[in-house]
């Protein structure tokens, strides 16, 4: 016997406000006061603006846990929290995040979503954002909200550290929306977080993510915006390895894209089949439930570790796996470029280490000259120059 309860109705703005108006301490539980919780610092002085996500990515369960309809807090509630943060004894002026599951979905939706009756014949964002979202108008509300939070008394910076949907930063006619330049100029703390997840069209279709060409277009627009505003900023990208439908050849194709950018993230998410998700069905059945077509599922440790090594190709621990994967896939033509980039990185690192030693010997440490400390670690994609 299977008993399934219907999902809760979306919360009203008043209900969501009441959740976040509770007197949270913004501290660890007393049991952990001694050792502390390092992860707390990233979110301690952040503001959740909404619940829910209508992206409906195949591998993500947020749609099922929080709902497809965006349940936004009121502007008043968010500004009240900003004022509360400013009065906290440990607050130093920086709100680390003003966002949610997807940062730029605050205040968005359509009449069908609000009624809990989304379209049955299309997705909200794929292959392109639905015109009913009216992004050219609705994203202005979030842009205005960010400005109000930043101008709150006692607040020096209001950053957006949640993931941003880059395909939602364009208007119906393909124009770049003002929110894009505002995020770059005022609300990015060095890195904007994005989740392209992969580069292969078929894998992205199975993930229900936008085509990689949209990411590449955004890359160029982000670079242009950074240069025009005199910002030295980067992109922090998230990729999934081992997702159903990803063959070794497709993993190598992503590796090639990363190689072109001399970019290797420090972390790569290994696919986990989460309950209720479409990707979990793909994983268990070896088929796409929407089309019935068979999909390749990377199940062996060898293949999954190879795919992870290809994404994190600058990690010395994975070099044998990278060369093994390129050999297995018949792409040894990429080995010379791969080795050349690794050697260049090693020379650069040796030079930095030597320079630091000489400067410290003179008693003058200039670790923060030129760029932020750590800004060019391998998890930052330098596209700003």
158 pairs with which residues across the strands? 95
Kindly tell me if the per-residue pLDDT of 385 is higher than 90: no
Highest mean pLDDT among 8-12, 128-132, 283-287: 283-287
> DSSP readout, 313-365?
TT-GGGHHHHHHHHHHTT-GGGHHHHHHHHHHHHHHHHHHHHHHHHHHHTT--
Percent of residues, the chain, with pLDDT higher than 90: 75
Q: What is the pLDDT of residue 165?
A: 96
Predicted pLDDT of residue 356: 60
Distances in Å between the alpha carbon of 67 and those of 28, 207, 242? 28, 18, 26
- Which pLDDT band holds residue 373 (cuts at 50, 70, 90)? very low
User: Over the stretch 258-315, which tens digit does the pLDDT of each residue have?
Assistant: 999 999 998 899 999 999 999 999 999 999 999 999 999 999 999 999 999 999 999 9
For 262-301, b where at least 16 C-beta lie within 10 A, e where not — what string? Answer: ebbbeebbebeeeeebbbbbbbeeeebeeeeeebbbbeee
Range 127-132, long-range pairs (CB < 8 A, 24+ positions): 127/210, 127/211, 128/167, 129/167, 129/168, 129/170, 131/172
pLDDT recorded at residue 323? 98
pLDDT, tens digit, 9 for 90 and up, residues 48-63: 999 999 999 999 999 8
- In angstroms, the first-to-last Cα distance of the chain is 60
Percent of the residues in the chain that have a pLDDT greater than 70, as a whole number: 91
Residue 244 has what pLDDT?
98
Average pLDDT of the chain, as a whole number? 89
251-255: average pLDDT: 98
Report whether pLDDT(114) > 60. Answer: yes
User: How sure is the predictor about 366, in pLDDT bands with cuts at 50, 70 and 90?
Assistant: very low
Beta strands 50-51 and 71-72 are antiparallel
pLDDT for residue 1: 67
The confidence score (pLDDT) of residue 383 equals 38
CATH fold of 39-189 = Transcription Regulator spoIIAA (3.30.750)
pLDDT number for residue 124: 92
At the topology level of CATH, where does 190-353 sit?
A: Transcription Regulator spoIIAA (3.30.750)
Q: Per residue, what are the HEC states of 146-209?
A: HHHHHCCCCCCEECCCCCCCHHHCECCCCCECHHHHHHHHHCCCCEEEEEEECCCHHHHHHHCC
Which pair of tokens denotes residue 380? 């930052």
Query: b/e per residue, 320-346, with b = 16+ CB within 10 A?
Result: ebbbebbeebebeebeeebeeebeeee
Domain ranges for the chain: 39-189, 190-353
| pLDDT tens per residue, range 142-178 | 999 999 999 999 999 999 999 999 999 998 888 999 9
What pLDDT does 382 receive? 38
Does pLDDT of 384 surpass 80?
no
Residue 357: what pLDDT?
A: 53
The residue among 278 and 116 whose pLDDT is bigger is 278
Torsion of CA 339, 343, 346, 348, to 10 degrees: -130
pLDDT in tens, 336-357: 999 999 999 999 988 887 766 5
């Amino acid at each position: 016997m299977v008993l399934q309860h219907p999902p809760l109705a979306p919360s009203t703005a008043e209900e969501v406000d009441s959740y976040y108006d509770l007197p949270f301490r913004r501290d660890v539980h007393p049991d952990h006061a001694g050792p502390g919780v390092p992860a707390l610092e990233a979110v301690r002085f952040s503001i959740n603006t909404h619940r829910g996500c209508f992206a409906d990515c195949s591998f993500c369960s947020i749609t099922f846990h929080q709902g497809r309809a965006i349940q936004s807090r009121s502007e008043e509630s968010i500004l009240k929290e900003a004022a509360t943060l400013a009065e906290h004894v440990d607050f130093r002026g920086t709100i680390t995040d003003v966002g949610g599951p997807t940062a730029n979905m605050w205040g968005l939706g359509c009449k069908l979503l609000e009624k809990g009756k989304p379209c049955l014949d299309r997705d909200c964002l794929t292959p392109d954002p639905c015109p009913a979202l009216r992004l050219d108008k609705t994203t202005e509300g979030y842009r205005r909200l960010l400005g109000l939070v930043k101008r709150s008394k006692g607040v020096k910076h209001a950053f957006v550290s949640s993931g941003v949907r880059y395909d939602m930063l364009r208007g119906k006619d393909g124009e770049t929306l003002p929110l894009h330049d505002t995020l770059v100029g005022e609300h990015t703390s060095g890195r904007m977080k994005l989740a392209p997840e992969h580069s292969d069209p078929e894998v992205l279709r199975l993930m229900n993510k936008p085509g990689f060409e949209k990411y590449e277009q955004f890359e160029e627009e982000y670079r242009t915006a950074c240069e025009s505003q005199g910002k030295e900023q980067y992109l922090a990208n998230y990729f999934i390895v081992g997702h159903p439908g990803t063959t070794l050849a497709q993993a190598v194709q992503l590796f090639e894209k990363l190689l072109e950018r001399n970019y290797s993230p420090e972390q790569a998410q290994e696919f986990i089949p989460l309950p209720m998700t479409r990707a979990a069905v793909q994983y268990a059945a070896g088929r796409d439930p929407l089309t019935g077509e068979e999909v390749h599922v990377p199940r062996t440790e060898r293949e999954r570790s190879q795919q992870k090594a290809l994404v994190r190709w600058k990690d010395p621990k994975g070099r044998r796996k990278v060369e093994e994967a390129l050999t297995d896939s018949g792409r040894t033509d990429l080995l010379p470029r791969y080795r050349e980039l690794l050697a260049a990185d090693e020379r650069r690192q040796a030079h930095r280490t030597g320079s630091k030693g000489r400067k410290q010997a003179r008693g003058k440490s200039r670790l923060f000259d030129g760029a932020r400390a750590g800004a060019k670690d391998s998890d930052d994609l330098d596209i700003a120059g």
